[in-house]
Structure 1
Amino acid sequence: MIMEEWNGSSSTKLSKTAVLTVSSSSFSLQRYDSRFNEVSRRILEAFVPEGFPTSVTPDYAPFQIWDSLQGLSTYIRTMLSTQALLSAIGVGEKSATVIGATFQWFLRDFTGMLGGILFTFYQGSNLDSNAKMWRLVADLMNDLGMLMDLVSPLFPSAFIFIVCLGSISRSFTGVASGATRAALTQHFSLQNNAADISAKEGSQETVATMAGMVLGMLLAHITMGQPLIIWFSFLSLTVFHMYANYKAVCCLSLTTLNKQRCSILLQHFMKSGQVLSPQQVSKLEHILPVWASSWYSKTSKLTHKKIHLGDGPLCCARFLLQGSEILADGEGRSCQYCTA
């Protein structure tokens, strides 16, 4: 009797890993994979979705790499800002009271919760359509919140006001980051594996958190009592954090249409008669809110032009652009934006 062991899933190429041969007098086991490769494969399975890389979109891997790097820098800076915040509250000082520190911490958390509710009320419906922009804005607000914590010991008279502003800023981060992460998870999913992608993303974030905490504790210990080095380290990590976030967002090639991507698509179609791919549109898309608003003002004239669609490759797409609805039905041709 011969038994074979294969590794893989229905979405990936199967590979033979072992063959067990059993006879009446003996049996033999032949492995086709080394012990090191088997262990590394098992470890990898804990951090990437099943069937990777074919079970996710091509932009999943580069996005997760940059996202993990920015997360690492965030947790390192968290140790520095938390150290400054605790010293401002009075930890380690005999004059500090427990009830005073508790009240300050409560007021900080309370304002953050209130800010999160208000932000959700005003921008909740806009987060998924502009996921790339809000993902970047969320991390910028997180940087501002950490900066407030680090600044708070320098202004004792305005301590409560500063830490409350920082808490409100971070509450925006929590809402925007969570909402955009859900939208991006759906984008990455190619085989109805959004839950698996979300779980593995949690494992990746946990590793980044643990590594960041260890490095942050080491950095906090080295820089203790040296404010110039603390500020230099914090600002350097903040610059890297924003760069990593920008690179992560630029890696995304979303296949859904919002106002800006729709405008880019229509503008190029009217000029050349060709439909850009999601990758090409993502390269032309502006991410920062200021850039986007100025770009909209330049392209708003497109909605006042008469557009005839019917035989072009824009199949089954219904675009809603600044109140003007454009319906395009192709004849047997398909595009990368059609989900029907």
Structure 2
Amino acid sequence: MKRYILDSCSQSVAVVEEHSVVVVARTTEAHSDVKVSWLPRTLKDFILPAGFPGSVSDDYLEYMILQFPTNVTGWICHTLVTSSLLKAVGVTSVSGTAAAASTAAIRWVLKDGLGALGRLFIGGRFGTLFDDDPKQWRMYADFLGSAGSIFELATQLYPSYFLPLASVGNLAKALARGFKDPSFRVIQNHFAISGNLGEVAAKEEVWEVAAQLLGLTIGILFLGTPELATPYPMLVISWLSLRLLHLWLRYQSLMTLKFCTINLKRARILVKSHMLLSIVPGCAECNKEENILIHQSFVKPQILFGSSLSEIIGVKGSVNELKALLELYDGEDYILSMSHRQSVEELKILVSFKVGATSVTVLRSMWQAYWLLEHWEGSNNAFHQLAESLSEVQERFDDFLKKLVDAGWDVKQINIKVPKEFIMYVQNAIECSSAS
């Protein structure tokens, strides 16, 4: 946190200390019934959580049905890649069997050890990301896993480079697992609306193992067909086809999820709809519109949350303008400004947060940003437009929150973090005495 003291007499701003502050909020999920009367009771009890459908969220079954073929294709791909790895290390050679096995073991341990560094890095560096957008990170995990498989497939072409190729491949897969596991835990928690997370996880294992066994069986049958498995081009084509199918099925399964939490992507959809149409979409409609492939930093318009006040000073150009900006936002827990650009396409919104800012503060600043961008008239009267947009926020934001509640969103627990960098404390210096 930075403490800024505004001297009303000299019209200067001083920075006197620095700390760090972070504010975090979470959300809960909604639920609707799913009926599976066609499923035999014995099978239902075996593969589904007790109390289904009332014990899980309404999108659980559709997701698991699509996950099953997704996992089947994944395990088929795994068997094909494993065959390339074993051939590359010479396990099938007739002579030197013991030496080949020892070499294979050493190389396998080395590549697994290097790959474990990836999981260590993900867990330590990106642990706070997964609650915000688990669907996105689960999809990215499969993209990374696919990239790792490409390196492993290449080992059969370049067996002398087995260690570097297999290590890079395993590193990519370890990174993928680092994204996958925590993301899926968030998804499982979304399903477990009855506090039955352990059972939901256990039943997911039933689906996973069944898919694994079926996938391995199909993969073994494929490898047992020499005219299909022996030619390397046929192996690569088969893997590529199955991997594309796998990625498509993963995307479809993730798109069935209906989170009633508000993250930054869904917040953009909700804010824009209310600002333009004075309505907000429900959970199902908003999740369907959400783009899970693109990262938040590439979403337009560009809103830079957590900008420093020094960046805003650079944009505003003078301490006098900064003083006017601080006075304008005196009653808010944030300060919003924008880069000086003539066209709205080039405009960047800068938001700096004060001590006491919450997730609702982020929503509030986003609403103002969208109104400002929609009504942008150029930089000649920028301060007037800031004041007008802030007035609109103060007039309409309460209606936005009310309509969120009416649409089924929980505004008390919003899954948006206030950026911990550059949280600031602004206070006025003691006024100077008037001249006698």
Per the TM alignment, residue 102 of structure 1 is displaced from its structure 2 partner at its CA by: 1.7
Q: Within 2, Cα distance between the matches of 1:119 and 1:188?
A: 24
Name the counterpart of 1:247: 252
Root mean square deviation of aligned Cα: 2.5
Name the counterpart of 1:54: 54
1:247-326 aligned within 5 A: 247-289=252-294, 292-298=296-302, 301=349, 302=366, 303-304=368-369, 305=372, 306=390, 307-308=393-394, 309=396, 311-312=398-399, 314-315=401-402
Greater Cα shift, 88-97 or 193-202:
88-97
1:169 alignment partner, one of 169, 172, 181: 172
Letter aligned with residue 399 of structure 2: G
Per the TM alignment, residue 210 of structure 1 is displaced from its structure 2 partner at its CA by: 0.7
Per the TM alignment, residue 224 of structure 1 is displaced from its structure 2 partner at its CA by: 3.3
- Equivalent pairs, count: 291
Per the TM alignment, residue 310 of structure 1 is displaced from its structure 2 partner at its CA by: 5.6
TM-score, structure 1 normalization:
0.79
Per the TM alignment, residue 336 of structure 1 is displaced from its structure 2 partner at its CA by: 2.4
Per the TM alignment, residue 12 of structure 1 is displaced from its structure 2 partner at its CA by: 9.2
> Is the 2:260–2:408 Cα contact (8 Å) retained in structure 1?
no
> Is the 2:114–2:171 Cα contact (8 Å) retained in structure 1?
yes
> Is the 1:314–1:334 Cα contact (8 Å) retained in structure 2?
no
Higher relative contact order, chain-length normalized (CA < 8 Å, sep 6+)? 2
Q: Within 2, Cα distance between the matches of 1:316 and 1:122?
A: 36
Name the counterpart of 1:225: 230
The DSSP-based 3-state class of the residue aligned with 1:92 is: coil
Larger radius of gyration: 2
Name the counterpart of 2:27: none
Q: Within 2, Cα distance between the matches of 1:174 and 1:216?
A: 22
> Is the 1:149–1:163 Cα contact (8 Å) retained in structure 2?
yes
Q: Within 2, Cα distance between the matches of 1:189 and 1:66?
A: 18
Per the TM alignment, residue 95 of structure 1 is displaced from its structure 2 partner at its CA by: 3.8
Q: Deviations over 1:31-63 (max 9, x none)?
A: xxxxxx99x311221111122223222221121
Letter aligned with residue 75 of structure 1: W
Q: Does 1:182 align with 2:189?
A: no
The DSSP-based 3-state class of the residue aligned with 1:129 is: coil
The DSSP-based 3-state class of the residue aligned with 1:185 is: helix
> Is the 1:314–1:335 Cα contact (8 Å) retained in structure 2?
no
CA separation of 1:234 and 1:313: change in aligned 2, threshold 3 A: same
Letter aligned with residue 299 of structure 2: W
> Is the 2:261–2:409 Cα contact (8 Å) retained in structure 1?
no
2:217 alignment partner, one of 187, 209, 214: 214
Q: Within 2, Cα distance between the matches of 1:106 and 1:95?
A: 20
Letter aligned with residue 225 of structure 1: T
> Is the 1:138–1:177 Cα contact (8 Å) retained in structure 2?
yes
The DSSP-based 3-state class of the residue aligned with 1:53 is: coil
> Is the 2:151–2:165 Cα contact (8 Å) retained in structure 1?
yes
Per the TM alignment, residue 240 of structure 1 is displaced from its structure 2 partner at its CA by: 0.3
2:122 alignment partner, one of 96, 109, 119: 119
Q: Within 1, Cα distance between the matches of 2:269 and 2:167?
A: 40
Per the TM alignment, residue 190 of structure 1 is displaced from its structure 2 partner at its CA by: 2.2
Q: Within 1, Cα distance between the matches of 2:154 and 2:66?
A: 28
Q: Deviations over 1:170-211 (max 9, x none)?
A: 111222111011101111122222222111111110100111
Q: Within 1, Cα distance between the matches of 2:56 and 2:170?
A: 35
Greater Cα shift, 227-236 or 240-249:
227-236
Letter aligned with residue 174 of structure 2: S
Per the TM alignment, residue 334 of structure 1 is displaced from its structure 2 partner at its CA by: 7.4
Which consecutive residues of structure 2, in runs of 5 or more, have no partner in the other structure?
1-31, 304-347, 350-365, 373-389, 414-436
Q: Deviations over 1:235-293 (max 9, x none)?
A: 11011001001111111111112111112211111112212211121122111135x43
Q: Within 2, Cα distance between the matches of 1:334 and 1:237?
A: 40
Name the counterpart of 1:195: 198
Name the counterpart of 2:91: 91
Which consecutive residues of structure 1, in runs of 5 or more, have no partner in the other structure?
1-10, 14-36, 318-329
TM-score, structure 2 normalization:
0.62
Q: Within 1, Cα distance between the matches of 2:76 and 2:245?
A: 12
The DSSP-based 3-state class of the residue aligned with 1:202 is: helix
Q: Deviations over 1:86-110 (max 9, x none)?
A: 1111102224613322211111100
Letter aligned with residue 269 of structure 1: H
CA separation of 1:140 and 1:311: change in aligned 2, threshold 3 A: closer
Name the counterpart of 1:337: 410
Q: Within 2, Cα distance between the matches of 1:310 and 1:260?
A: 18
Name the counterpart of 1:326: none
